[in-house]
Amino acid sequence: MSINNPTPLVYLVDDEFSIRDSLTLLIESTGQDVKSFESAEAFLNNYNPDHPGCLVLDVRMPLMTGHELQSELLNRNINIPIIFISGHADIADSAKAFRSGAIDFLEKPFNHDVLLERINEAIKKDIVFRDEFVKKRRIQDRIDHLTTREKEVLGLIVKSHSNKESAKILNISNRTVDVHRASIMEKMQAENVAELITMVMYCEAPGSISLEKRVH
């Protein structure tokens, strides 16, 4: 968990003033903080990655469209959950949005309860994701502190090789493997081999867990 826990923010991007205005009022009425922008560019310039939150995004806008913003965020490794809103829902549009990891695709005018529910859901997901991300970063840090030889040994452990097998493969003595193993366990702060393997697996596939969870 991060040290300071900033309040979640709902970002709203729509070129239409009336939509921005009415949705801001609506979302604010549930107690959420809202930051609205009239263009994707304005959002990119003002986004604060420190705040957890979600993005309510219009599909059709002049200059950068909603979809373009989504790709741009992926490019920048910003994993903010997105709820698309569109005046004209198009199957191709929505499919594209979902493939790229959108939370939902809502057609205007939409049921406000659904929208607010999705917003809450999205914020929670972002908080979870951010926690996982922090966890992964911590494990990665520990892995980064291993020596090259230790990393090689860790790789063989993850692949369920015994000490003897590992010594043979690496052409070193069993005794040396034992020394490495103890050092790895200490550096990775693992209680046992099972925990060590879980940590490595978790770290190596960072996106897979959250993606599986998102798909309905």
Partner 1 sequence: MSKSTNGHMNTENLECKECTNAENLMDKHREAIRKQAETMIHHSGNDIAKMSTDDIQKLLFDFQVHQIELKMQNEELNRAQQELTASRDTYAQLYDSSPVGYLTLTETGIIEKANIAAATLLGCPKDELINKRLGKFIHPLDQDNYYLFIHRLLTQRTSQAYSTKTRNSCDSPTHPECKYFQLCPDVSHSSGNNKLPTYIECYASVVYNEKNALQICLTINNITERKQAQETIAYLNEKLEEKVRRQTSELIVSNLSLMKKVEELRRSKHQLLEREAKLNSIFNASVEGIITVDMSNIIVSANAAVETIFGYKPEELVGYSISQLIPSSSREMNDYISPDDVKLIGQIQEVEGAHKNGFIVPLDMSIAEFSVDNAHYFTHIVRDVSLRKSREQQDKEHLDELAHVTRLGLMGEMASGIAHEVNQPLSAISSYTQVSLNLMNADDPDLVKLTEILHKTQQQALRAGRIIHRMREFVKSHAKHRSTAEINNLIHEAVGLCIPELKQNCIKLSFELENNLPPLNVDHVQIEQVIINLLRNSVDALKTLPPKQQRHIAIHSRMTLNDSIQVRVKDNGPGLDPDQQQKILTPFYTTKADGMGMGLSISRSLIEAHDGTLHFNSQLGKGTTFYFILPIRSKSDEH
Taking CB under 8 A as the criterion, the residue among 9, 12, 13, 23 binding partner 1 is: 23
Taking CB under 8 A as the criterion, the residue among 9, 10, 13, 19 binding partner 1 is: 19
User: What is the DSSP code (8-state) at residue 64?
Assistant: S
Question: Which residues have C-beta within 8 Å of that of residue 79, sequence separation ≥ 6?
Answer: 73, 126, 129, 133
112 binds partner 1 (CB under 8 A): yes
How many binding residues for partner 1 (CB under 8 A)? 22
Taking the least distance from each CB to partner 1, the nearer of 107 and 152 is 107
Strands (E), the chain: 9-13, 33-37, 53-58, 82-86, 104-107
**How near is the Cβ of 80 to partner 1 at its closest, in Å?**
22
Please name which of 30, 203, 206, 204 lies closest in space to residue 112, comparing C-alpha atoms: 30
Which residues make beta-bridge pairs with 26? Answer: none
42 binds partner 1 (CB under 8 A): no
Taking the least distance from each CB to partner 1, the nearer of 61 and 122 is 61
Please name which of 78, 91, 89 lies closest in space to residue 40, comparing C-alpha atoms: 78
Contact between residue 70 and residue 100 where contact means Cβ atoms under 8 Å apart: yes
Site stretch for partner 1 (CB under 8 A), options 104-112, 124-132, 176-184, 189-197? 104-112
**How near is the Cβ of 100 to partner 1 at its closest, in Å?**
17
Token readout for 26 is 């609506």
Q: What residues make contact with partner 1 under the rule CB under 8 A?
A: 15-16, 18-19, 21-23, 25-26, 29, 60-63, 65, 85, 87-88, 108-110, 112
